[in-house]
């Protein structure tokens, strides 16, 4: 069962700005459209952290977004008069937040709605561990790293030990001198069965020994996805969810 994300305002630091800020209009639109399709709750704050309404994101496009108005007429009026609004919701169990300074009252499919221009940036505040699934041994999942990294003279295939939206565990040999903590690989390609393919950057965070038959010493390189785009995060979450569902029914 999904855990509800508290829709309180997050105080943002300069580190958050560097790490969690998304400024790609394409990614922003993708995230907001997904929130609208899923009917995910939205808290719209106005006039300070204590004043807000719970609403629904009706639609989003490349220009802006439409939010359902509340039945509280005075509250709706204060929102329209507000110089600063804060939108808080969630996408794939991760908090989404942005600030708006423009709002207008419009009709959406015959009903009153708030219209906000598409924000220049949003924050995807990923402050939790992701659920990690083990990959099937019978049908190994592979991470293919290309030749963009000079130390690799040809394509390299690493068997994936486990995977989550936050990162991936790769099996490697003890003699692999490239897979070391701090190493970045920006051309990683993973085919997710029945879901689709993703490409992204990973950073090696740690190395641990794997239990393996005698004479086959292996290590697990724990890698973190860096700046994974919204579409890839959605595909990964779908793959993990499918594996969780299969496991719960087995």
Instruction: State in words which class domain 133-248 has.
Output: mainly beta
* Residue among 67, 51, 62 at smallest CA distance from 105: 67
Residues 6+ positions from 249 with CB-CB distance below 8 Å: none
pLDDT for position 126: 66
pLDDT for position 40: 93
User: What CATH number does the domain located at 14-125 have?
Assistant: 2.30.110.10
Domain spans of the chain? 14-125, 133-248
pLDDT for position 241: 81
pLDDT for position 46: 93
pLDDT tens for each residue of the chain, 250 residues long: 455 678 888 877 665 566 788 899 999 999 999 999 999 999 999 987 678 999 999 999 999 999 999 988 898 999 999 999 999 999 887 889 999 999 999 999 999 999 999 999 999 886 545 667 888 777 889 999 875 554 445 678 899 999 988 889 999 887 777 788 888 888 899 999 989 999 989 998 888 776 555 556 778 888 989 878 888 888 888 888 888 776 655 5
pLDDT for position 2: 53
Task: For the full predicted model, state whether its pTM sits above 0.85.
Answer: no
Phi–psi pair at 152, nearest 5 degrees: -100, 120
pLDDT for position 129: 53
pLDDT for position 136: 78
Q: At what angle do helices 25-38 and 230-248 cross, to 10 degrees?
A: 40
* 3-class SS of residue 16: helix
pLDDT for position 220: 87
* 3-class SS of residue 186: strand
How far is 33 from 122, CA to CA, in rounded Å?
A: 14
pLDDT for position 121: 94
């Amino acid at each position: 069962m999904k855990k509800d994300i508290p829709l309180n305002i997050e105080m943002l630091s300069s580190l958050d700005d560097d790490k969690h800020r998304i400024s790609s209009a394409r990614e922003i639109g993708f995230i907001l459209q997904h929130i609208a399709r899923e009917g995910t709750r939205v808290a719209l704050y106005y006039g300070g952290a204590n004043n807000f309404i719970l609403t629904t994101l009706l639609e989003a496009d490349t220009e802006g977004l439409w939010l359902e108005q509340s039945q509280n007429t005075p509250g709706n009026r204060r929102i329209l008069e507000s110089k600063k609004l804060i939108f808080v919701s969630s996408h794939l169990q991760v908090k989404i937040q942005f600030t708006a300074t423009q709002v207008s009252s419009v009709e959406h499919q015959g009903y009153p709605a708030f219209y906000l221009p598409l924000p220049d940036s949003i924050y995807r505040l990923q402050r939790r561990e992701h659920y990690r699934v083990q990959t099937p041994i019978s049908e190994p999942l592979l991470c293919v790293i290309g030749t963009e990294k000079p130390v690799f003279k040809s394509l390299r295939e690493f068997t994936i030990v486990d995977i989550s939206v936050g990162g991936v565990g790769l099996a490697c040999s003890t003699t692999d001198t490239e897979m070391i903590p701090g190493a970045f690989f920006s051309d990683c390609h993973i085919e997710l069965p029945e879901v689709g393919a993703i490409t992204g950057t990973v950073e090696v965070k740690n190395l641990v020994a794997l239990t393996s038959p005698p004479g086959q010493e292996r290590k697990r390189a724990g890698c973190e996805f860096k700046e994974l785009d919204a579409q890839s995060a959605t595909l990964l979450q779908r793959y993990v969810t499918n594996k969780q569902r299969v496991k719960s029914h087995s």
